[in-house]
Chains A and B, each alone.
Chain A
Amino acid sequence: DTGVSQDPRHKITKRGQNVTFRCDPISEHNRLYWYRQTLGQGPEFLTYFQNEAQLEKSRLLSDRFSAERPKGSFSTLEIQRTEQGDSAMYLCASSSPGTTYEQYFGPGTRLTVT
């Protein structure tokens, strides 16, 4: 199966620490998206890439969050100086050209900040 993969699946960290998540999209997909989801809420858009270019960031994405997709393949999402409010499921999705809303999601990385 060559679906979207995310690593790690779970991460527990202490407040103030930095964390980095990785997403490997479906190989032929040139668009990659990051979302955050908290309990009882739908996924919240964070940012999206087309190839290696980061084309849009949510206004909700603070300066502590940064995402990269250096070679247009995998992507990383880093959170600096984590806060308890960052505890959530971080979802990655990818899509092929022309199918913005037909996204394929990974299993997510669950972050717990203690």
Chain B
Amino acid sequence: LAKTTQPISMDSYEGQEVNITCSHNNIATNDYITWYQQFPSQGPRFIIQGYKTKVTNEVASLFIPADRKSSTLSLPRVSLSDTAVYYCLVGARMYSGGGADGLTFGKGTHLIIQP
């Protein structure tokens, strides 16, 4: 089971780029890295997933170095509405034989965006 470590909280300002790093030193060969966003009183929302190098979608980018022992979620030009908790998950896809161990959200990173 690949355990993840994230900062408990981060602050930034509107219009800035925010990078949240997640450490997963024991990541296994079959493990994927997934990030979720959660607002108060709502369920988490899938943001992005990757295996290696860089993945980009309309919301964020995910940078994964060659050793895959960490990953960085990058949010470009944040706004006040990006204030939320961000979770990093690591685990193998179940259809590949991975179990539910990867569905461990941890405490996440509480990102606060100020005007």
Residues of A within 8 A of B (CB): 4, 31, 33, 35, 40-45, 48, 50, 55-56, 58, 91, 93, 97-108
Contacts and interface: CB of A to CB of B under 8 A. Distances in A.
Interface in B67-113: 85, 87, 89, 91, 93-95, 98-100, 102-108
27 contacts: A42-B105, A42-B106, A42-B107, A43-B105, A48-B94, A48-B100, A55-B94, A56-B99, A58-B100, A91-B43, A100-B91, A100-B98, A101-B32, A101-B49, A101-B89, A101-B91, A101-B93, A101-B102, A102-B34, A102-B46, A103-B44, A103-B46, A104-B46, A105-B42, A105-B43, A107-B41, A107-B43
Contacts of B102: 100-101
A55 B42 CA distance: 26
A56 B100 contact: yes
Given A43-B105, A56-B100, A105 B93 contact: no
Main secondary structure of the interface of A (DSSP, over half): loop
Contacts of A108: 41-43
A7 B98 CA distance: 30
Contacts of A33: 103
Contacts of A50: 94
Given A97-B95, A100-B94, A100-B98, A44 B105 contact: yes
Contacts of B107: 40-42
B54 interface: no
Nearest to A56: B100
Given A42-B106, A93-B43, A98 B100 contact: no
A45 B100 contact: yes
Contact of A102 (B49, B99, B105): B49
